[in-house]
Amino acid sequence: MAAEHVNHVKILDCEAMQAIVAGLELRSVDLQSPRNNKEHHTQEMGLKRLIVRRGQPFGLQLHFNRPFHFGTDYLTFVAETGPVSMELLGTRATFSLTQARKGNVWSAFDFTVDTNSLLVSLFTPANAVIGPYTLKTEISQGQGHSVVHPLGTFILLFNPWNAEDDVYLPSEILLQEYIMMDYGFVYKGHERFITAWPWNYGQFEEDIIDICFEILNKSLYFLENPSRDYSQRNDPVYVCRVVSAMINSNDDSGVLQGNWEEDYSQGVSPLEWNGSVAILRQWSARGRQPVKYGQCWVFAAVMCTVMRCLGVPTRVVSSFRSAHNMDGNLTIDTYYDQNAEILSTRKRDKIWNFHVWNECWMIRKDLPPGYNGWQVLDPTPQQTSSGLFCCGPASVKAIREGEVHLPYDTPFAYAEVNADEVIWLFRDGQAQEILVHNTSSIGKEISTKMVGSDQRQNITSSYKYPEGSPEERSVFMKASRKMLGPRRASSPFLDLLGSRGSEAQPAQLQLHLARTPEWGQDLMLKLHARRMPDRVHPQGPIRLVVHFSAQALLHQGDTQEPLWRQIVHLNLDFGKEIQWPLLLPYDNYRNKLTDEKLIRVSGIAKVEDTGRSMLVLKDISLEPPHLSIEVSKRAEVGKALRVHITLTNTLMVALSNCTMVLEGSGLIDGQISKNIGTLAPGRTIQIQVDLYPIKTGPRQLQVLISSNEIKEIKGYKDTFVAASRAS
């Protein structure tokens, strides 16, 4: 019996040895996308494919024909990205299964064997190249034959949750806002009439991530040298600079074509976009042809979508009265004639009513210490940088401190918010007199969406010291010396700065609105004039001749031909204030305003016996009607959500050819469009729509009603979508 027992054991041992010797064969792979994506904050992009963030492990499960034996079975993993992957360029990684991770390098570790399955963790370094990867494994036993098996594909993104990543942002509240929030606001209008426009970023719509990498693969950098371009995609400074160039189409097959000419018949008016998704999908679907049309807020909002999708914390920033300084001398020169008309033809410099750009959060290893954090990126094509129409990243801290020598494009960004404004009286073929030298009129109310709120946050103090403070003027002089360089010795601008300023004016002039301005009605203003003491006229009355002009003001600072003129004669003496009524009839502006619905009323007052001139200005914004949006109390995935939209035409004219567009990631797949005809003056239209929410969580519905008369009547409604209840 004992001998029989020994023989039986020997037979079992032989069978076990044969099983071990049998080649290890891969039967199937589970990339565990649902679990990995949730752990990597990418579940909003979908759960069907693996999307992970660098510097953070992710798990996968391999199923074999027999149990895996560490020490006799050898697994080597290969991850590759780019057209020609190379380890030297960081686009190919080869790494073997080990029991523990080896620092910030590609690793396969922390494995467990469960019968014929192997659960293993893969780690990507926090400075790995981002992009779509293929993953395969090579199986071998000792020095014997090896077999390569494809395991699948995954997408690797920046990881702002990881302290080793250059885009690390150490605040979950900020990450929820600047990475995970897929809607927000763009601030437009005028410093005194700031309007919050809702915008659907939609960075987690399933195809957007693929379009983001399409954008990188269409850049001139990629087309010129694909391997080198891919190898630099580990660097957020490089990636955001490429995206800044690719959002506009001035050099390449970029996403958007700019148009500031008021003729949008060949495309869509920039005012009629509700969000980024439709723009990006159109660009991709039509063979990467630029989408018509964009202006600054559209460029910046689309860039925000792309950068948040790639994993870089990003926000949209608006600056009111933003300078476009063409000659780099830190003054914006504006010219008026004697009739108070702005001479646009003479303007190389511009002051935009508002300008919109991006801030991206990152470490700047290419700069001295102290300039990490928010960086300005401006995708609007204004001037070239290293030969391409892009701008940034420029450190916000460097802008505030006047360190304009630091890359990239810091002088231009500095001037946008800090330039001085000089307004000249132009006559007899040349600039004759300085009407105004204003050191604090540029870069007003710099704004972004408040974290966790629909309110506006004023971030002007992060760009500059308080206007007029010793620190602000000191920084300005430092920046001007660096920017003007050898020219500064003979600069009339610095002479102007060094002077004691203009003499006191003999009168104080102000323009006020007599009533709220409404589109379709006459505009009522009052000129307030008060006599002031000055050196030339220490006493007695003075006579003024005031020429008034009204011009439609375009978004980028240009004006159209005057639509109204008036001349007023005033006698001013001490102790009296004159209030002179002015009427700008509706018929004068009804067909002459741009889509911005902004009018500048200018007055130049000439003192009769001295010939000196004074300037008075008033910008008027005509508000569109307001939308009312109500939704049923409970929003639930897959269940009808009833939306009531109400619009009353408060204008004195009909709104013709009205169309409505609804958009909202997680609420609507794409857009819902509806023609609603003509809305007569004083009439109200009520529209009812049923939506079927797709995703849980906080969502925003954006509504746009456009007409021939007014392109943008916008509204929004925030709602929270609950998970579907079991029926």
Give the strand order in the sheet containing 542-552: 564-572, 542-552, 598-607, 613-621
Give the side-chain half-sphere CA count within 13 A for 409.
27
Q: Which residues pair with 322 in a beta bridge?
A: 352
Nearest Cα neighbor of 403 from 505, 308, 478 is 478
The 8-class DSSP code of residue 234 comes to T
The answer to whether the CB of 622 falls within 8 A of the CB of 599 is yes
Q: Is 274 helix (H, G, I), strand (E, B) or coil?
A: coil
d(CA 711, CA 721): 30
What's the pLDDT at 210?
98
Say which residue, 327 or 590, is predicted with more confidence: 590
What's the pLDDT at 594?
83
d(CA 278, CA 66): 50
What's the pLDDT at 21?
59
The stretch 715-721 carries a mean pLDDT of: 96
| 355 in catalytic set | yes
pLDDT at position 261 over 90: no
Say which residue, 703 or 389, is predicted with more confidence: 703
d(CA 485, CA 243): 31
pLDDT at position 365 over 60: yes
What's the pLDDT at 5?
43
pLDDT at position 518 over 90: no
Number of Cβ within a 10 Å radius of residue 220: 17
Active-site choice (182, 378, 409, 558): 378
Number of Cβ within a 10 Å radius of residue 287: 7
Q: Which residues pair with 690 in a beta bridge?
A: 642
The answer to the question of whether 409 is labelled as a binding residue is no
The stretch 390-398 carries a mean pLDDT of: 97
Level-2 CATH architecture, domain 172-485: Alpha-Beta Complex (3.90)
What's the pLDDT at 533?
82
Q: For residue 495, name the pLDDT band (cuts at 50, 70, 90).
A: low
The answer to the question of whether 534 is labelled as a binding residue is no
The stretch 508-519 carries a mean pLDDT of: 93
d(CA 478, CA 488): 12
What's the pLDDT at 14?
46
The stretch 489-515 carries a mean pLDDT of: 69
What's the pLDDT at 11?
38
| 555 in catalytic set | no
Active-site choice (296, 309, 391, 658): 296
The stretch 687-694 carries a mean pLDDT of: 96
What's the pLDDT at 6?
39
Mean pLDDT (the chain, rounded): 92
Residue type, 625: P
Q: Find the range with the poorest average confidence among 3-12, 124-133, 243-252, 537-546.
A: 3-12
What's the pLDDT at 429?
84
Percent of the chain with pLDDT over 70: 94
Give the tens place of pLDDT for each residue, 410-465. 999 999 999 999 999 998 888 889 999 999 999 999 999 999 999 999 999 999 99
Q: Which residues in the chain are classed under CATH 2.60.40.10?
A: 26-157, 507-621, 627-722
The answer to the question of whether 403 is labelled as a binding residue is no
Percent of the chain with pLDDT over 90: 79
Give the strand order in the sheet containing 697-706: 635-636, 713-722, 697-706, 655-663, 671-679
The answer to the question of whether 420 is labelled as a binding residue is yes
What's the pLDDT at 73?
94
What's the pLDDT at 3?
45
Nearest Cα neighbor of 620 from 705, 536, 563 is 563
Phi, psi dihedrals of residue 71, rounded to the nearest 5°: 110, -30
What's the pLDDT at 544?
95
Structure tokens at 594: 């741009």
What's the pLDDT at 486?
64
Nearest Cα neighbor of 202 from 350, 304, 73, 286 is 304
What's the pLDDT at 253?
87
Quote the distance between the C-alpha of residue 508 and its chain's center.
Answer: 41
Instruction: Report the CATH fold assignment for 26-157.
Output: Immunoglobulin-like (2.60.40)
Q: For residue 143, name the pLDDT band (cuts at 50, 70, 90).
A: confident
What's the pLDDT at 120?
98
Instruction: Report the CATH fold assignment for 627-722.
Output: Immunoglobulin-like (2.60.40)
What's the pLDDT at 384?
82
What's the pLDDT at 646?
97
pLDDT at position 494 over 60: no
Give the tens place of pLDDT for each residue, 221-260. 999 999 999 999 999 999 999 999 999 999 888 999 999 9
d(CA 182, CA 188): 19
pLDDT at position 328 over 50: yes
| 149 in catalytic set | no
Give the tens place of pLDDT for each residue, 609-663. 888 999 999 999 998 888 999 998 899 999 999 999 999 998 888 999 999 999 9
Q: End-to-end alpha-carbon separation of the chain, Å?
A: 66
pLDDT at position 492 over 70: no
Q: For residue 19, name the pLDDT band (cuts at 50, 70, 90).
A: very low
Give the tens place of pLDDT for each residue, 28-69. 999 999 999 999 999 999 999 999 999 999 999 999 999 999
pLDDT at position 83 over 70: yes
Q: For residue 9, name the pLDDT band (cuts at 50, 70, 90).
A: very low
Active-site choice (41, 324, 355, 437): 355
**What does R_g of the chain's alpha carbons equal in angstroms?**
32
Q: Which CATH superfamily is domain 507-621 in?
A: Immunoglobulins (2.60.40.10)
What's the pLDDT at 502?
53
Say which residue, 168 or 388, is predicted with more confidence: 168
